[in-house]
Amino acid sequence: MSFQENLKQLRMESGLTQKQLAKKLKIKNYTVYDWEHGRSLPRPFDILLLSYVLEVSTDELLGFDDPKVQKKIKEHLESK
């Protein structure tokens, strides 16, 4: 699952709208929309804030806990 899909799913599971999440993060409303639609990516500090607000690890937020993602990372690092 992509970061965008992960973020949207985790936000919805938390019962938050994009506007509510933006307010908690103290960012502009459209920023969450942009993240969820792949128009931009959060800064490293925003990833930490998202993880805290959504009560998930950064690995879960970024999809690193997904075996498919781990496999792609391993293949990438092992390729020449």
pLDDT at 5: 94
pLDDT at 2: 87
Pick the CATH number of 3-78 from 2.40.160.20, 3.40.50.11540, 1.10.260.40, 2.60.40.10: 1.10.260.40
What parts of the chain have a pLDDT lower than 50? none
Cα 71 from Cα 37, distance rounded (Å) = 25
pLDDT at 80: 76
